[in-house]
């Protein structure tokens, strides 16, 4: 078992876990409940939620998938997408309009 990703924000860790699981890579989530537990006021990275790849041989593929996903998210976040329903401008990595909730991927 090898740790592949760690972050203070659990939602990001959970997102990347779902990406890896969708690709058929078995992973384990550690420290899921420690960040907001009140254990300490000082942020300690060792207690941040993290993802571990269960089988060492899956690590290179998992790393490639995460890198590709991170690059795509960074590139898309710089683009702007107009909502077809209300015309509001949204970051390119949004799937739904933050203003009216319209599906932004349907027009792509």
pLDDT for 34 beyond 70: no
Determine contact, residues 9/51, Cβ cutoff 8 Å. no
Task: Give the range among 13-17, 49-53, 72-76, 78-82 with minimum mean pLDDT.
Answer: 72-76
The better pLDDT of the pair 84, 76 is held by 84
Please give the Cα distance from 108 to 101 (Å, whole number). 16
Which span out of 40-49, 75-84, 90-99 was modeled with the highest average pLDDT? Answer: 90-99
Dump pLDDT digits (tens) for 35-67: 555 555 667 777 788 999 999 999 999 999 999
Determine contact, residues 69/16, Cβ cutoff 8 Å. yes
Please give the Cα distance from 59 to 36 (Å, whole number). 28
Which CATH entry fits the domain spanning 2-79: 1.10.10, 3.30.70, 3.40.50, 3.30.43? 3.30.70
Please give the Cα distance from 21 to 70 (Å, whole number). 16
pLDDT band at 9 (very low <50, low <70, confident <90, very high): confident
* Length reported for the chain: 108
- Residue 7 backbone phi and psi in degrees, to 5: -155, 155
* Domain map (residue ranges) of the chain: 2-79
pTM flag (> 0.85): no
């Amino acid at each position: 078992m090898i740790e592949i990703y760690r972050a203070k924000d659990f939602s990001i860790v959970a997102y990347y876990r779902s990406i890896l699981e969708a690709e058929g890579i078995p992973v384990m989530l550690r420290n899921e409940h420690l960040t907001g537990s009140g254990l300490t006021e000082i942020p300690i990275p060792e207690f941040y939620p993290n993802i571990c790849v269960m089988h060492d041989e899956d690590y290179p593929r998992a790393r490639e998938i995460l890198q590709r996903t991170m690059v795509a998210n960074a590139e898309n976040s710089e683009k702007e997408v107009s909502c077809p329903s209300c015309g509001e401008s949204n970051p390119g990595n949004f799937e739904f309009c933050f203003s009216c909730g319209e599906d932004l991927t349907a027009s792509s």
